Amino acid sequence: MDSNSLKYGIFSFIIPGLGQYLNNDKQKGLGLFGAAILLHIFIWFFMNNPLGSVLQTAYHLYAGYDAYKNY
């Protein structure tokens, strides 16, 4: 396990797409970041309940795992 892969995974967990962006996969990073913004807006207005929180956490976990495994 490389320390950069763990670092990029943590960055992308905190801000989805940041780890991919720093890993020179800029298009995927921007796409994940844009999708996270839309997901958070959708959940804020339509699903402001525990299920929305679970979906947000799952998306952040996916983004972090994707950055970790693709480094």
pLDDT, residue 10, reads 96
- Helix, strand, or coil here: 40? helix
Per-residue pLDDT of the chain (71 residues), as tens digits, is 578 899 999 999 999 999 999 999 999 999 999 999 999 999 999 988 999 999 999 999 999 999 999 87
Helices assigned H by DSSP within 15-46: 18-22, 26-46
pLDDT, residue 1, reads 59
pLDDT, residue 61, reads 97
Taking phi first (over 0 means left), then psi (-120 to 50 degrees means alpha), and beta for anything else, what does residue 17 get?
A: left
Pull the structure tokens for residue 51. 């299920």
Handedness of CA 43, 35, 55, 60 (dihedral sign): negative
Q: Which of 24, 25, 21, 1 is nearest to 11 (CA)?
A: 21
pLDDT, residue 48, reads 87
